[in-house]
Structure 1
């Protein structure tokens, strides 16, 4: 299908969850855009899931798609800044992730739980309990889009952990007169939680092993261990599906992949070399590259950015202009937007490289190091921690674009969020990771397995552990060489063009919604 584009002079500013970054787009709109279907974007409400979908929404906007984003009110301004029409989630589906982690559902006991127990709480509260409300919101959104233009049709673009769309595939009917979407595309913004003969269930402490012996182990873990451990979640998912009006349950143990494979296709963010090789990828699965980093030439148009508003930022720029032998090493540390207690990773990192903790013979002596710490939320600061004095070689930002600062970094220290890993890959920066919970344990293991960094094996490392990890990365060029290999791999995959092409395919082929769980 051919179509003609014309340029407008509308500026679009996108504010990232990870920093002060104003991205200005010269908006491209397709003159035939009104003939395309509407795009309804659905996404789990955590910032780490929303950020890549918001970037995708902004790119689709420039490529002439009219996007509608069903999202949490706490992030409305970011969604609208991406050019999407915002549709609010309601009731218990409208989760503010910052408030959630400041006041978790289990109170003080939440923070004392092992990470594996906290994950189960989060899955119930964030993903499964809101499912009927999410489905009601999806139905209302589809009805609204149909009323707006009955002839356009809708394509669903759903992030994998938005469970509220699943009833659509398991026999739940839409209101009278509202047609099913033309098709659905899943976007995966974490490591794929899809069952494989080559892998144990997520979170199990076993190395990748696709040998016959490893596959036998994996099968036993899935069928004997995870099926039992996940029984309550499997039951809860099916109960919530029935409450939403589904005629059938999902029919598999929780986290086996139904939230991916229900869709017509699966676009996995990331690069193949970061993921364990599998022999049984599901039909329609493909790697879609990175939303992080500089845009590809074909992803029109390129953004322009403003310098971060910190008085020390010119020091970072100036350091990068020096000959390599004269530059200080720039270490960047962040804990993302979930585990925000700075004593977990940020303060140990600042202490590790403070003048009193290093020696002149070390590759990470304080005289040769600048540490940039990113706290993750606007207006956050370290002044409330009276027992800690910020070292002279530290620069602290409440909120800073990862891509902006990683362009100048030598080591990227973080707690293994999937987005943080991909920011490192996109900028070719080797990593030291210290993370547990959600998918962070899996991400950390893949960082070590792929050779792009060091996994400290804990979410709360000591200053000595952080320093040892950084010195290991600085001494061994294999880490920087390997991450640059993955960076080159990412540069060969144009994420936004792949998503754009996938939507055009759905528009032309109109595969519709495939009903799952039916007996042939």
Structure 2
């Protein structure tokens, strides 16, 4: 049994793992929201839709969780954690326990943000693993406080900065950790010793998207955390989908191709898409904008060098792309790097400031340090990334590491070994 939060950035990587397990002959069920059941059934998995858990629509989370309305930045993170992830966990656990009673499984492997996975596994005494489409970057020595988009700092001043900001961030996470313990009590589980950073993950096995080289340097990573690269790799993924009717323009392009994406969660085009279009209009580039499946149409007319589609299949687009301008969604960043493409990253909320900070720190792109950059900042970042070969060289180094880790095949290998 796999679990996946009903969001594109979570469901699609888990679907790739499910598809690989099905191809190996396993009987795979997936517990997810009804809006994503068809996606998993396409690869041969059976689905168990959310029932006791509220069947959320990622296009309008505020309809189910009114406190999310109008929230951005850190306030959005807190409400997401409290209402969506922690708040739905007991109901998720009830759904999973009913599914297990009807048809027991041999292994439960869950999306870390589907926290009901942990609760059900503990209540049932089930062997379980985490399959994480999100970045697994734990606190540790020399690692700056998470959530602030900071990079490592050396010397007494740097250590003092981390102590002060770490204490401030810890105050917020302690509130959520107490909420987690209260959630455990609600489902009849005793208190445990997990912290806010670790409560999402299985202590037995974590199959993590990404690579060690994408994190800051560290030597304290627990042995049960295993990075496997990109969990949407082309070889194990289903058909990439239809191409836009203007695709011939991409194939005929004689200038650099720039892909602009704002992901599938925060989709107000005024944040990044429109400033990027303005920044690149009239330049000797060909701009391909992926709007996601719920962004309103862009106000026209568009510049002559811009093409727009709701979704653009990455297996076709990224091999032709020179630079990606992105809001820092983890899956899209991994796919760009796997194709050796450097990035301009505007990470505004959730985990995206951390992703942007690491991309900038490693030198695989430019961190714009905001989710709503000005056109001039995007233009300057594009000029830097497109003219300095060090960015592409670093992206290629990280891409080689991601490819070497094995992707969905390695994920399936680890889950099979955990079964035994």
2:172 aligned with 1:241 = no
Distance 1:258 1:66, change over 3 A: same
Q: Is this contact kept in 2: 1:275–1:446, CA < 8 A?
A: yes
Q: Give the Cα separation in 1 of the matches to 2:239 and 2:311.
A: 19
What do the CA deviations read for 1:110-133 (whole angstroms, capped 9, x no partner)?
Answer: 43x450111101111210011110
Q: Is this contact kept in 2: 1:201–1:226, CA < 8 A?
A: yes
Equivalent residue in structure 1 for 2:228, among 249, 268, 288: 288
2:215 aligned with 1:275 = yes
Equivalent residue in structure 2 for 1:340, among 264, 267, 292: 267
SS of the residue aligned with 1:52? helix
Could you say which residue in structure 2 is the equivalent of 1:312?
246
Distance 1:495 1:332, change over 3 A: same
2:343 aligned with 1:382 = no
2:110 aligned with 1:161 = no
Give the count of matched residue pairs.
420
SS of the residue aligned with 1:424? helix
Q: Is this contact kept in 1: 2:96–2:120, CA < 8 A?
A: no
For residues 490-501 of structure 1, the aligned pairs below 5 Å read: 490-501=402-413
Q: Is this contact kept in 1: 2:348–2:372, CA < 8 A?
A: no
Offset of 1:495 from its aligned partner? 2.0
Q: Give the Cα separation in 2 of the matches to 1:211 and 1:280.
A: 20
Offset of 1:467 from its aligned partner? 1.0
What do the CA deviations read for 1:340-372 (whole angstroms, capped 9, x no partner)?
Answer: 1111111111111223xxxxxxxxx2xx21111
What do the CA deviations read for 1:435-474 (whole angstroms, capped 9, x no partner)?
Answer: 2111000000011012111111111111111111111111
Q: Give the Cα separation in 2 of the matches to 1:317 and 1:487.
A: 23
Could you say which residue in structure 2 is the equivalent of 1:353?
280
Distance 1:114 1:412, change over 3 A: same
Equivalent residue in structure 2 for 1:85, among 46, 65, 71: 46
Offset of 1:99 from its aligned partner? 2.2
What do the CA deviations read for 1:277-304 (whole angstroms, capped 9, x no partner)?
Answer: 2222123112111123432xxx6xx866
The structure with the largest strand share of the pair is 1
2:312 aligned with 1:369 = no
Q: Give the Cα separation in 2 of the matches to 1:307 and 1:46.
A: 21
Distance 1:502 1:87, change over 3 A: same
Distance 1:216 1:45, change over 3 A: farther
Offset of 1:221 from its aligned partner? 4.7
Distance 1:506 1:305, change over 3 A: closer
Offset of 1:249 from its aligned partner? 2.0
SS of the residue aligned with 2:271? coil
SS of the residue aligned with 2:20? helix
Q: Give the Cα separation in 2 of the matches to 1:507 and 1:62.
A: 17
SS of the residue aligned with 2:270? coil
Q: Give the Cα separation in 1 of the matches to 2:332 and 2:364.
A: 13
Q: Give the Cα separation in 1 of the matches to 2:361 and 2:194.
A: 29
Offset of 1:258 from its aligned partner? 2.4
SS of the residue aligned with 1:258? coil
What do the CA deviations read for 1:243-297 (whole angstroms, capped 9, x no partner)?
Answer: 1121x2233442x21222x3311122112221112222123112111123432xx
SS of the residue aligned with 1:407? helix
Equivalent residue in structure 2 for 1:206, among 128, 150, 154: 150
Q: Is this contact kept in 2: 1:425–1:483, CA < 8 A?
A: yes
Q: Is this contact kept in 1: 2:232–2:408, CA < 8 A?
A: no
Could you say which residue in structure 1 is the equivalent of 2:192?
250
What do the CA deviations read for 1:371-430 (whole angstroms, capped 9, x no partner)?
Answer: 11111006x5525x3xx4211111010222233211211110110011111011111111
2:420 aligned with 1:420 = no
Offset of 1:493 from its aligned partner? 1.8
Q: Give the Cα separation in 2 of the matches to 1:421 and 1:89.
A: 29
Unaligned runs of 5+ in 2: none
Could you say which residue in structure 1 is the equivalent of 2:96?
138
Could you say which residue in structure 2 is the equivalent of 1:116?
74
For residues 424-503 of structure 1, the aligned pairs below 5 Å read: 424-503=336-415
Q: Give the Cα separation in 2 of the matches to 1:74 and 1:406.
A: 27
Q: Give the Cα separation in 1 of the matches to 2:200 and 2:112.
A: 6
Distance 1:433 1:103, change over 3 A: farther
When the two structures are superposed, what TM-score results if normalisation uses the length of structure 1?
0.76
Equivalent residue in structure 1 for 2:6, among 45, 64, 67: 45
Q: Give the Cα separation in 2 of the matches to 1:42 and 1:145.
A: 15
When the two structures are superposed, what TM-score results if normalisation uses the length of structure 2?
0.93
SS of the residue aligned with 2:311? coil
Q: Is this contact kept in 1: 2:328–2:356, CA < 8 A?
A: yes
Q: Is this contact kept in 1: 2:240–2:315, CA < 8 A?
A: no
RMSD: 2.3
Unaligned runs of 5+ in 1: 1-39, 147-152, 175-179, 320-326, 356-364, 509-520
Q: Is this contact kept in 1: 2:149–2:357, CA < 8 A?
A: no
Offset of 1:231 from its aligned partner? 3.1
